[in-house]
Structure 1
């Protein structure tokens, strides 16, 4: 049995799979970051650990026999962000998350002063990356920086709690703007540019390597064997690639969770031509990836449910599905938290065009879903401008909606393959990394595509109908870009 733990933005997901990768037990515990100021996003790291412990306590109560057979643990987590610890391994302040925009000025300054470092980092500096956030903290919270002795990423805080070890892996370190993608090591030049003390940085272990072992007291709490290996794990995007088998060059997927990604695997580090595309380390040795990173995935639809007073996203989706016949009369922008690919615009915001007195909640929700599909099309155009993939996997919570898949497949003009267990995403990939760490097996035998449950093919009628709407979407952003940047 192999246990995968994913520290997401909106929840912690835990999955236990057997040797045939069949699910044996699972748990999900909700999370919710705070927004103390506009464009800020923070969370208390203790809430991540409490959610993990709660989920495993629940699994122990419900499935004690199968949990006791766990052979290894793998980790995945939200990327970027900044968590500073003091000498007692306690946070000096709340963790700043990936969708935080406060370091926009620092990112612009780093890009202007150090354009040569983008190739090393795999992307130009953006707000929400660890390096620019450290630069912001040095300027605005010097007392917190003065108390800092260690820097960790979200999943690595959970590792510290599980094992007592401070470590990270290349795929998660890749998102810090402190890491040399080609060398798979911390970059002294990037660290110096951002003001990162080298003594803060955790050791690097490959995602498939053993990073530490489970503490005896926790093993007793959950009925596991003492000394279970804990894999290096990885950033959620790359670990999602391991879970879906997107590890060979040219394979890829669309992920629709809180954020969104279009992902393509590679066997070499090649800085992307578009500076808003990320060229990062994969969660397997000798593998890299290119990623169009969207700050706004399925989260705008959750916001639409709140706006319209619906009790949950499922209720709103059912209303959309019941009345869907083609493109919405409304046009939306989904940029509730700014956007990375292709705009690198932390000031971008959401918008709705075409409202009338008769507009329904379903029409608003459909326009938001279409806006996310258009945003993914922009990401794919930046990621692979010359050659469209033959097919892409489709993972994340948003992949449960076949209607959303129809919209995205038709807008991208790419078939989307939904794999068995695809909604488990990075948690399942983390379980695969646990297996590799425990067995020393060949990743080519483990990180394979799961069985395809179904394929959502592009529909010519929808593709033709959405083509002019995509151009209108792009025009709407261009028209409002200057307004977004105006001070409130």
Structure 2
């Protein structure tokens, strides 16, 4: 048995796979996000640790005793600042935090080669500009910083006592020379740090230590090896077999991501496309990232009084696609691809006296689909060809939403058995590779296809004018940047 743990934004998920790749047990525990000021997004690192333990202990004890390795996945970019005693100095600043836009400009100005080194445009969600913000606004905290860890790597520290990260997750800090697969001294120095402040880098399939005896005893697991693992999207890709160049997936989690595996470093920062290392050796990937995807569904359900996502999807289906004039701009936390705009916020447009919860729900589904389609266009502008997308994440549960997305993308969507398990599945497979070795393409295989949703020509035609209206609306809601 192999355990995969995913430190998400809304919760921690733990999944156990047997050697045949079947799910033998799983558990979850919730997390909450704190937003003490506009554009801020934070979490208490201790909450990750408590939720991780709770999720693991949900799994049957007889299954836990058979675990031979653990892999980690997690939300990317979060700045977890530790002092000399390895305790957090402040709440972690998360991936969807938008406070450091000025610091992004400072980085781009001070390092003309930044995009060449990192393959990415500086964005407030990344880790490096967050450290500049802390240096400027919380100097007493910055002076105490001895180590900066990503969320899953703080959990690793609590599990093993060691400081390590994998290259896919570390790529999202903006401190990595992505082509060379190592830390960049140049970018670290620009944030008044050096390699002493960051963990050792590993490929996702490598071992980074073993469970501490006290943790193993608490969890009812042997003191097994812990794999480096991956950032949530890279681990999710490993879980559904997106491990060959050209393989692609759509992740419908809190955020929405289109992920394409590549055999070389292929940046396109001009369109805010991410170019990172994969969690597997000798592979990279491109991503378009939309900050609010399934989170918009949960938000709209609360807004309209729906009992949950399932009721919202059902309401939307009664309204039907392309029938009304409501437009939803899903920028609840700002946006990355293709706009790189931390200040923009969501909006409903075209409301009238006949607007009701059903038509609002339909507008939300369409708005997220259109925003994701903008990201797909940015990938295509980078020369990437995508002929189908594997779908993972909680949003994969709705076939009706899949019809809308397939029509907006004009690309078939493939739904895989167990795809909703997400990054924890890939983390468990990385643990298996770390313990047993072998070729990633033999271990990280695609699950059986549950269904495929092909683009419907009539639906494409009905949504086309609405997508054009969506794209025209973005400039109308964009605040002036005051940097």
SS at match of 2:422: helix
1:485 counterpart (450, 461, 480)? 480
Tell me the number of residue pairs that the alignment of Structure 1 and Structure 2 aligns: 481
Structure 2 counterpart of 1:192: 189
Q: Is the 8 A contact 1:327 1:466 kept in 2?
A: no
The answer for the alignment partner of 2:364 in structure 1 is 368
Match of 2:350 in 1: 354
Once the two structures are TM-superposed, the CA of residue 233 in structure 1 deviates from its matched residue by 0.6
Q: Give me the whole-angstrom Cα distance separating, in 2, the residues matched to 1:421 and 1:172.
A: 23
Post-superposition shift, 1:426?
Answer: 0.4
Aligned with 2:353: secondary structure? coil
Structure 1 residue 358, shift from structure 2 partner: 2.8
Q: Give the whole-Å Cα distance in 1 for the aligned partners of 2:318 and 2:53.
A: 40
Distance in 2 separating the partners of 1:327 and 1:14: 41
- 2: CA distance, partners of 1:32 / 1:271: 33
- Partner in structure 1 of residue 307 of structure 2: 311
Q: How far off its partner does 1:106 sit?
A: 0.6
Q: Displacement, 1:216? A: 1.1
> 2:330 matched to which residue of 1?
334
Instruction: Provide Cα deviations, 1:264-320, integer angstroms capped at 9, x if missing partner.
Output: 100111222634001100000000000011111111111111211223222222222
Q: Name which of 443, 453, 456 aligns with 2:453.
A: 456
Structure-2 separation of matches of 1:71 and 1:311: 40
Q: Which segments of 5 or more consecutive residues in structure 1 lack a partner in the other structure?
A: none
Report the 3-state secondary structure (helix = DSSP H, G, I; strand = E; otherwise coil) of the residue aligned with 1:274: helix
Q: CA deviation at 1:327?
A: 4.5
Q: Residue 453 of structure 1: SS of its match in structure 2?
A: strand
Alignment of 1:248-267 (within 5 A): 248-267=244-263
Q: Deviations over 1:214-272 (max 9, x none)?
A: 1112222222222x010001100111110111111111011110001111100111222
1:129 aligns with: 126
Aligned residues of 1:134 and 1:196 also touching (Cα < 8 A): no
> Is the deviation greater in 306-315 or in 208-217?
306-315
User: Offset at 1:328?
Assistant: 4.2
Which stretches in structure 2 are left out of the alignment for 5+ residues?
none
1:113 to 87, 110, 114: 110
* Contact 1:10–1:32, Cα closer than 8 Å, also in 2: yes
Structure 1 residue aligned with 2:225: 229
- Which residues in structure 2 correspond to 1:147-162 (within 5 Å)? 147-162=144-159
Aligned to 1:274: 270
Worse-matched range after superposition: 72-81 or 327-336? 327-336
- CA RMSD of the aligned region, Å? 1.3
Matched, 1:467 2:456: no
The aligned runs of 1:12-411 (5 Å cut-off) are 12-59=12-59, 63-226=60-223, 228-272=224-268, 274-324=270-320, 326-385=322-381, 386=383, 388-411=385-408
Instruction: State TM-score, norm by structure 2.
Output: 0.97
